[in-house]
Amino acid sequence: MLSLTKKRKKFWRFKTLSRTIPTHVGIIMDGNGRWAVRNGLHRTKGHSTGLKATKAIVAHVARSPIQNLSLYTFSTENWTRTQEEVGALMDLISSHLKAQIPFYNDYGIRIVHSGSKLRLTHRITDDLTKIETMTANNSHLTLNLLIDYSSQEEIMRSMQRITDQKLPITQENIANNLDQPSLPPVDCVIRTAGEKRLSNFMLWQSAYAEFIYTDTLWPDFTAVDFDQAMDEYSHRHRTFGG
């Protein structure tokens, strides 16, 4: 395994007090298709290039003090895209999951999944289960992959679990029955490609998150862009409504 203590000191460029470092960052990775169109390529090429950017950012965050990272990988609404594009996205997800297990273990990354598994292929659901098991003891970074994810559906699943357990409907019970109840609230949400909306991303968990928007398309998003976002976050004064 990599000496992550040394690598964190070497690679983490975010220079600020530890109290301003977010515990949980969420990223809405937007702009793959537009990147491909701007470069005269098929939209599917944008997704494969975006996947390379994702791996680079995950490695960078794993070398930082941040403990949790949630990535909006495939939304429930994405099923409405063309059959060709959806098929390409599912193929990318399927081929990527198991192939990256050595990478995740090398960087000490624990994988968890948020979203529904009912519409995913058996291969993807089986791979998700295997990768969650094989990375369960990693502790440097928890990477939450949002695949077939809708925050509204997640809240509905939580309510159904509460009903099934005959529990009172409280904020605590709702939080404890979300897809990944062990994850802390999201401190910072980054959205690329110039869009300024939440798009059904972790509505409950992001209730008091700081939002940072960038015009950079996801395939062009680098560790430098991420550090700039973290620097901006470090200057935010969070009051949590108080």
Ligand-binding site membership of 167 (annotated): no
Count Cβ atoms within 10 A of the Cβ of residue 197 and give its class: 0-12 exposed, 13-18 middle, 19 or more buried. exposed
Q: What is the mean pLDDT of residues 231-237?
A: 92
Q: What is the mean pLDDT of residues 6-18?
A: 47
Query: Partners of 104 in the beta sheet?
Result: none
Quote helix, strand, coil % in the chain, to nearest 5: 45, 15, 40
Is 105 a known active-site residue?
no
Rounded-to-integer distance, Cα 58 and Cα 71, Å: 9
Over 70: is that where the pLDDT of 10 sits? no
Over 80: is that where the pLDDT of 37 sits? yes
This prediction has a pTM of 0.92
Percentage, residues of the chain above pLDDT 90: 88
> 20-150+180-198+208-234, superfamily in CATH?
Decaprenyl diphosphate synthase-like (3.40.1180.10)
For 133-144, the pLDDT digits (tens) are 999 999 999 999
Whether the CB-CB separation of 222 and 56 falls below 8 Å is answered with: yes
Ligand-binding site membership of 81 (annotated): yes
Rounded-to-integer distance, Cα 154 and Cα 160, Å: 10
Q: What is the mean pLDDT of residues 24-44?
A: 96
Q: What is the mean pLDDT of residues 154-160?
A: 98
The pLDDT score that the predictor gives to residue 13 is 54
Ligand-binding site membership of 218 (annotated): no
Q: What is the mean pLDDT of residues 175-179?
A: 98
The pLDDT score that the predictor gives to residue 242 is 75
Is 78 a known active-site residue?
yes
The pLDDT score that the predictor gives to residue 9 is 44
The pLDDT-based confidence of 6 (bands split at 50, 70, 90) is very low
Active-site position among 39, 68, 78, 127: 78
The pLDDT score that the predictor gives to residue 1 is 42
For 98-121, the pLDDT digits (tens) are 899 999 999 999 999 999 999 999
Q: What is the mean pLDDT of residues 18-45?
A: 92
Rounded-to-integer distance, Cα 211 and Cα 192, Å: 11
On average, the pLDDT of the chain sits at: 92
The pLDDT-based confidence of 19 (bands split at 50, 70, 90) is low
The pLDDT-based confidence of 238 (bands split at 50, 70, 90) is confident
Ligand-binding site membership of 75 (annotated): yes
Ligand-binding site membership of 38 (annotated): no
